[in-house]
Structure 1
Amino acid sequence: MRKQGVSSKPLQSSRPSQPKRRRGASPGRKLQAPWFSSRTTLGIAVFVAILHWLHLVTLFENDRHFSHLSSLEREMSFRTEMGLYYSYFKTIIEAPSFLEGLWMIMNDRLTEYPLVINTVKRFHLYPEVVIASWYRTFMGIMNLFGLETKTCWNVTRIEPLNEVQSCEGLGDPACFYVGVIFILNGLMMGLFFMYGAYLSGTQLGGLITVLCFFFNHGEATRVMWTPPLRESFSYPFLVLQMYILTLILRTSSNDRRPFIALCLSNVAFMLPWQFAQFILFTQIASLFPMYVVGYIKPSKFRKIIYVNMISVILSFILMFGNLMCLSSYYSSSLLMTWAIILKRNKIKKLGVSELNFWLIQGSAWWCGTIILKFLTSKILGVSDHIHLSDLIAARILRYTDFDTLIYTCAPEFDFMEKATPLRYTKTLLLPVVMVITCLIFKKTIRDISCVLATNTYLRKKLLEHGELAFHTLQLLAFTALAILIMRLKLFLTPHMCVMASLICSRRLFGWLFRRVRFENVIFGILTVMSIQGYANLHNQWSIIGEFNNLPQEELLQWIKYNTTPGAVFAGAMPTMASVKLSTLHPIVNHPLYEDADLRARTKIVYSTYSRKSAKEVRDKLLELHVNYCVLEEAWCVVRTKPGCSMLEIWDVEDPSNAANPPLCSVLLKDARPYFTTVFQNSVYRVLKVN
């Protein structure tokens, strides 16, 4: 028997100073010290990577009892877009060959029937393609040597559920898929340690970064609850990218290798996630004022911009000419930066003061980027697609329509919870980061005032501290994003953890460490952090649950055995992802809502929850070739917050029908003559479109 439980998942929706050689120390010993330090750093990084991997695996298993689920239950546990992403991995591994599977997802007719779409281009499916190739290679090798890859047994479920077979091991596709994700995010923690150690100049700083991440784990990531989301694949490469960029900003070497690594990490960050380009835009927005003021040498800044331009071109090519790569704020900001770099000397000849020279460049950059973004979107014909920037603009301007409400009514796209800053404070993360930020601001303002007072544009002492100014500006950008969209805490919290490593920086706190022992300060802070931090970890470890969804299982089994293979389905976006994944039936709408044509389709499907007439809705569904529409009774009345029920959203969109009765209620009572109820249970009704 499997344990019963209720799953309660939070959303959470200067170069290091070299030690002076002591009198009498041998040259050989001095040469060995950096080697020993590097070996120690790498060893600790490997240890914390394994620790985080074990933590993620434990939380995931505790929450779902994943190892004892059947294949169907595992697929159902990948809710909403997660199920859609996994379906393409499943398609490739079940195809006769890898290339045939790749061709199938690049010429897909099941996702937006009857359209044929390249899902790799549309949905950023490189992670699924790569993992599927690894899985097929792994299975081929294991089969060649006759080695077992999984263990299967029968699992008895509580009444009225029947007995099912459950398999565990890397030979099971779902286990292999999530296993790769958890290994990647385990490695990310090792990278965080190295990042924090490098930024602070001490291994203790790296340890503080790791501990802060663990103590605020529920606020820093949700990979343990939602493994297949794009951020699970993409974010680790942003950590690598920022680590490399920090190295470039700090050093004055002309070595090309860091710039090549920066380019590759940019591409690896952008390929899996459509939101990545906006995050890189905030990075350019943080780097540009540093260049204007003089924190970055012009030659180095030009190289960084050229590397980013090459990254965009490579991503555009690898994404089969996805025009959204060229119409983003990121691409526009790169073009404007390049233009300002070329015209900078001409601007300087205007004879304005240093401050006005800075303001002219900053104003030109912001205005030019916004104008260029809208022009490229219009010219390339992607102005109707939803970008992350559109959601942020809707938040700021309080603009609402059907499409923005579908997004912003979801909890993860809501404003940051008021309790979040309090949770940061209890673990001491927020106070520590605020102190560090204030010190960096104080130093930056003093340095800039010095430059303005002496009318000197470049100062060597400014150039030595550019990485601290960059991290502070990036912190401000991530804070703004997280306040507007709660989901984007995944950028803010880890970055705060990296910034917290600077509490060990003698560059910032040398004045304090000369008065108080360094170790006493750091371990005192860690002791206070660990009080609430351990409580947070204990709360995570105490989440014990088991996935089951009998109503959806009944629905999927009915569809699989009572409809023809070519029957076309429409319904709520999360449910349609499960229908495609587990039954392989064509669907007309799905959760990846950014595309304008798909939003129009979804709007037609969701009119079943409006006040329109049944005939009008039926006629529109027939135009989409829909055979069956899945109606969910809860969607008729559910209201996550004021203004967010489907009826309220439709009343905003379609005020002319506001006086009519809800169509959903009419269909639940008697769907005839335009629809026929062919299946129903406690949650779902399947309506045949007549």
Structure 2
Amino acid sequence: MAGNRRQGSTGDHRSSFKHGKSKYSRSSESREREKENGNSWGIAYKLFLVAVAIGIAVSHRNHIATMFEKDRHFSHLSTLERELAFRTEMGLYYSYFKTLIHAPTFMDGLNEIMYDNVTEYPQTINVLKRFNLYPEVVLSIGYRIFEDVNARLNRPTKMCWQVNRGEGKTPVQSCEGLGEPSYFYVESAFALNGMMMGIFFLFGTYLSDSMFGGVLTVACYFFNHGEATRVQWTPPLRESFAYPFLVFQMLLVTFTLRSKSPNSTHSVAIALASVCFMLPWQFAQFALLTQAMSVMGTYVLQYIDDKKLKVILTGQSMGLAISYLLLFGNEMLLTSFYASCLISMWIILFLRPILDKLHFKIIIMAVQSILLAIGTVCSKMVVGKLLNIADDAHIGEIFRSKFSDFKNFHTMLYTCAKEFDFIEEITIWKLTWTLLLPCSLIVFLTVVFFILRSEYSQWKSPVVANGSAVHASNTAESHGRNRPDAELVYHLFQQVAFATMAIMIMRLKLFWTPHLCLLTSLLASRKYFGWCGRNEAHFAVLAVVLAGMAYTGIQNLQQQWGIMGEFSNYPMEDLVDWINENTPKNAVFAGPMPTMATIKLCTQRPIVNHPHYEDAGLRERTKVVYSIFSRKPGDVVVKGLKELEVDYVIYENSWCVRRTKEGCSMPEIWDTEDIENRGKTPYCEIVRDHPEPYFKRVFMNNVYQVLKLV
């Protein structure tokens, strides 16, 4: 019986073993099926998100292209009128695209802009280095390929017709289609910014872990479109080509901060996106400075470890180095606060083992913050002195003038323009009426509350070290740990930086407003707003919020859609026609910066000054030209113009009399420095009526005069 029992027992055991194996096999197969189903659903969901992003990109492209067309009736303008529509810096940038596509070969055009003696006559400068013209280079290549392929296929690329303008003006030929250079140019800017909106949708979805977060981001952007971008009015500006790459770069940084184990691939991706952002825009270094400091703030608070900081820092440093090389050694990049900040961050990383010996977390944070601030400023000063570069000195002077009574000619030219003044009160109200500011403030405070609560919980929970309980917040043991929500800590810092920039310089609200839209996506995050109730209740709250935003937001959109304009500038057109017909090709012109860009674009005559005011030498040239609006004697004004080898001066009386605010007429701006001539009659009032004996009036209409030096 024992044997029987043993046999039975053995039999039972084998039976049980086989049964267990069968169960295990079915469970494994079940899990595999579930995994496959999950992967299939995950892939399908991602493809759906991409499809939605593409649809949003197309919608945004159509939105801005429609507004641009309605504002100018661009499709019915002649080639000259379209060029006249690109005022100030826009005309300057477009002129180089025109040079590149009209040259016999691309290399001839490239050589022409790299050895340019028309823009700052008689100097020869590399405008590709100075003006960040890579968008024009890339677009000119694309345009040449587009035209060549269609020519080989014998396909027309544009349609032309005659437009009767009335008012005694001769009819003009107007062409529409990508074969028209101006169309190809602006459509490229619109397509890029449409793509940016698709990235914003994916960004908001990723940040909030909810597709509704992406929808909120896009809706907020559309509802506050006038405060978030100006690409619909000014497509050739540098920000139109650069800012979309900043959005993509911030998404990559966010992805890296959230990754458990980032590697060199992340660094390379960040570097490439940074290069695409820096090459088109000289101001990119300041935006990236705020990003570097925000990432460093996240590191100082010990939300990321050395490895993550090194990955991001390596990407940023590689991007800066590559941009420096591709911009032919642009000194402003080396002497920028951004480069100095990166140097300081590397030093802090190198000193970490030493700083850890301080033991106390709060002391380590304080020392790292002090090292970052002092290191950045000192590095900037040392590099600037060694290279003897003062091109960005005006940036410091502008900020200095905002918080003291300091002012000079150059700072007044900036601060008298409302774009460089403090943010307007109406802007705050507009962002409030669409609920963008209140919602982003709620998100900001909620995230801060959760982070502080987490910090407090960690502080209350002791960690065992050497057999004794020590608070984690008082030790450096957690220094190398990666903690959750690092990407949100970064975005909070970034938001504060963008808000500060926007408050001090109104133009920089174009960074702040889109980031407000991005943070608003977190309203859809279950992690931070799960207290709203179950999914259904949370969704209902979001629907109510979106409806509240739409109340004013749709009114804003309708106001933009209702814009109906038609561009015309007959006085400038007459001026350009006269110059083309009555002056030699090598005649040298001087005048107000915006007008000079148009003269360069439409007549190809040499000019001595232009609107790109970021070079120290150019600022001094412009100051000499603008002496005609000062109270200086005529012989002093003419002496400076002759030293610049000027043949003709374009005089606009509005520059002599207009006053944007108290103390901001051109003669008053000159009074800040030209103390000895205060109280005298401005020379622009004298030369307006009596140009002799130093000038001879050779052209005049109701806006412009052309004065020839005699």
- Looking at structure 2, the residues matched to 292 and 619 of structure 1 have their Cα atoms a distance apart, in angstroms, of 57
Q: Deviations over 1:139-160 (max 9, x none)?
A: 1111112110111111001213
Q: 2:77 aligns with which of 69, 73, 83?
A: 69
Question: What are structure 1's unaligned runs of at least 5 residues?
Answer: 1-21
The within-5 A match list for 1:22-33 is 26-33=34-41
The within-5 A match list for 1:339-378 is 339-350=347-358, 353-378=360-385
The within-5 A match list for 1:345-494 is 345-350=353-358, 353-386=360-393, 388=395, 390-449=397-456, 453-454=471-472, 455-457=474-476, 458=478, 463-494=483-514
The within-5 A match list for 1:146-157 is 146-157=154-165
Q: Tell me the secondary structure at the aligned position of residue 122 of structure 2.
A: coil
Q: 1:606 aligns with which of 626, 636, 648?
A: 626
The yes-or-no answer on 1:560 pairing with 2:567 is no
- Looking at structure 2, the residues matched to 158 and 386 of structure 1 have their Cα atoms a distance apart, in angstroms, of 50
Matched residue, 2:567: 547
The yes-or-no answer on 1:315 pairing with 2:335 is no
Matched residue, 2:88: 80
Q: 1:496 aligns with which of 498, 516, 526?
A: 516
- Looking at structure 1, the residues matched to 532 and 538 of structure 2 have their Cα atoms a distance apart, in angstroms, of 8
Q: Deviations over 1:323-355 (max 9, x none)?
A: 11111011000001101111122123245x321
Q: 1:633 aligns with which of 653, 675, 697?
A: 653
TM-superposed CA distance for 1:395, in Å, is: 2.3
Matched residue, 2:191: 183
Q: 1:533 aligns with which of 553, 557, 576?
A: 553
Percent identity, aligned pairs only, is 47
Corresponding residue pairs, total: 669
- Looking at structure 1, the residues matched to 33 and 528 of structure 2 have their Cα atoms a distance apart, in angstroms, of 29
The yes-or-no answer on 1:586 pairing with 2:594 is no
The answer on whether the counterparts of 2:304 and 2:480 sit within 8 Å (CA) in structure 1 is: no
The answer on whether the counterparts of 2:262 and 2:311 sit within 8 Å (CA) in structure 1 is: no
TM-superposed CA distance for 1:83, in Å, is: 0.2
The within-5 A match list for 1:17-96 is 26-96=34-104
Q: Deviations over 1:61-86 (max 9, x none)?
A: 00000000011110010000100000
- Looking at structure 1, the residues matched to 408 and 521 of structure 2 have their Cα atoms a distance apart, in angstroms, of 43
Matched residue, 1:11: none
The answer on whether the counterparts of 1:332 and 1:369 sit within 8 Å (CA) in structure 2 is: yes
Matched residue, 1:133: 141
Moved over 6 A (4+): 22-25, 459-462
TM-superposed CA distance for 1:28, in Å, is: 3.3
TM-superposed CA distance for 1:388, in Å, is: 4.5
The within-5 A match list for 1:96-175 is 96-175=104-183
- Residue type at the aligned position of 2:544: G
Q: 1:389 to 1:242 in 2, by over 3 A?
A: farther
Matched residue, 1:196: 204
Matched residue, 2:264: 256
Q: Deviations over 1:265-287 (max 9, x none)?
A: 00100111111001111011111
Q: Tell me the secondary structure at the aligned position of residue 306 of structure 1.
A: helix
- Looking at structure 1, the residues matched to 123 and 440 of structure 2 have their Cα atoms a distance apart, in angstroms, of 50
The within-5 A match list for 1:279-298 is 279-298=287-306
Q: 1:450 to 1:330 in 2, by over 3 A?
A: farther
Aligned-residue RMSD, C-alpha: 1.8
- Looking at structure 1, the residues matched to 184 and 358 of structure 2 have their Cα atoms a distance apart, in angstroms, of 62
Q: Tell me the secondary structure at the aligned position of residue 161 of structure 2.
A: strand
Q: Deviations over 1:481-518 (max 9, x none)?
A: 00111111111010011100000001111122349712
Q: TM-score, normalised by structure 2?
A: 0.92
- Residue type at the aligned position of 1:528: G
- Looking at structure 2, the residues matched to 313 and 366 of structure 1 have their Cα atoms a distance apart, in angstroms, of 22
- Looking at structure 2, the residues matched to 486 and 74 of structure 1 have their Cα atoms a distance apart, in angstroms, of 28
- Residue type at the aligned position of 2:690: D
- Looking at structure 2, the residues matched to 584 and 282 of structure 1 have their Cα atoms a distance apart, in angstroms, of 39
Q: Tell me the secondary structure at the aligned position of residue 349 of structure 1.
A: helix
- Looking at structure 2, the residues matched to 533 and 268 of structure 1 have their Cα atoms a distance apart, in angstroms, of 32
Q: Deviations over 1:256-308 (max 9, x none)?
A: 33321111000100111111001111011111121112101111111211221
The answer on whether the counterparts of 2:332 and 2:391 sit within 8 Å (CA) in structure 1 is: no
The structure whose Rg is larger is: 2
Q: Deviations over 1:137-185 (max 9, x none)?
A: 1111111121101111110012132211111111100000001000000
- Looking at structure 2, the residues matched to 480 and 616 of structure 1 have their Cα atoms a distance apart, in angstroms, of 42
Q: Tell me the secondary structure at the aligned position of residue 294 of structure 1.
A: coil
Matched residue, 1:12: none
- Looking at structure 2, the residues matched to 382 and 564 of structure 1 have their Cα atoms a distance apart, in angstroms, of 37
Question: What are structure 2's unaligned runs of at least 5 residues?
Answer: 1-29, 460-470
Q: Tell me the secondary structure at the aligned position of residue 637 of structure 2.
A: helix
TM-superposed CA distance for 1:381, in Å, is: 1.6
- Residue type at the aligned position of 1:542: G
- Looking at structure 1, the residues matched to 292 and 329 of structure 2 have their Cα atoms a distance apart, in angstroms, of 23
- Residue type at the aligned position of 1:406: L
Q: Tell me the secondary structure at the aligned position of residue 261 of structure 2.
A: coil
- Looking at structure 2, the residues matched to 409 and 204 of structure 1 have their Cα atoms a distance apart, in angstroms, of 42
Q: 1:552 to 1:515 in 2, by over 3 A?
A: closer
Q: 1:329 to 1:398 in 2, by over 3 A?
A: farther
The answer on whether the counterparts of 1:392 and 1:485 sit within 8 Å (CA) in structure 2 is: no
- Residue type at the aligned position of 1:40: F
The yes-or-no answer on 1:683 pairing with 2:703 is yes
- Looking at structure 2, the residues matched to 386 and 147 of structure 1 have their Cα atoms a distance apart, in angstroms, of 52
- Looking at structure 1, the residues matched to 456 and 388 of structure 2 have their Cα atoms a distance apart, in angstroms, of 46
The answer on whether the counterparts of 1:377 and 1:383 sit within 8 Å (CA) in structure 2 is: yes
Matched residue, 2:590: 570
- Looking at structure 1, the residues matched to 550 and 535 of structure 2 have their Cα atoms a distance apart, in angstroms, of 25
- Looking at structure 2, the residues matched to 97 and 387 of structure 1 have their Cα atoms a distance apart, in angstroms, of 39
Q: 1:520 to 1:59 in 2, by over 3 A?
A: same
- Looking at structure 1, the residues matched to 308 and 394 of structure 2 have their Cα atoms a distance apart, in angstroms, of 30
TM-superposed CA distance for 1:389, in Å, is: 5.1
- Residue type at the aligned position of 2:155: L
- Residue type at the aligned position of 1:620: G
TM-superposed CA distance for 1:463, in Å, is: 1.3
The yes-or-no answer on 1:220 pairing with 2:219 is no
Matched residue, 1:5: none
Q: 1:652 to 1:460 in 2, by over 3 A?
A: closer
Matched residue, 1:18: none
Moved more, 86-95 or 283-292: 283-292
- Looking at structure 2, the residues matched to 133 and 387 of structure 1 have their Cα atoms a distance apart, in angstroms, of 35
Q: Deviations over 1:430-482 (max 9, x none)?
A: 11100110012222333445556532442899611101111111000000000
TM-superposed CA distance for 1:25, in Å, is: 8.2
Q: 1:426 to 1:151 in 2, by over 3 A?
A: same
TM-superposed CA distance for 1:227, in Å, is: 0.4
The answer on whether the counterparts of 1:386 and 1:594 sit within 8 Å (CA) in structure 2 is: no
Q: TM-score, normalised by structure 1?
A: 0.94
- Looking at structure 1, the residues matched to 90 and 557 of structure 2 have their Cα atoms a distance apart, in angstroms, of 26
The yes-or-no answer on 1:664 pairing with 2:698 is no
The answer on whether the counterparts of 1:62 and 1:543 sit within 8 Å (CA) in structure 2 is: yes
The answer on whether the counterparts of 2:263 and 2:311 sit within 8 Å (CA) in structure 1 is: no
The answer on whether the counterparts of 2:302 and 2:480 sit within 8 Å (CA) in structure 1 is: no
TM-superposed CA distance for 1:636, in Å, is: 0.9
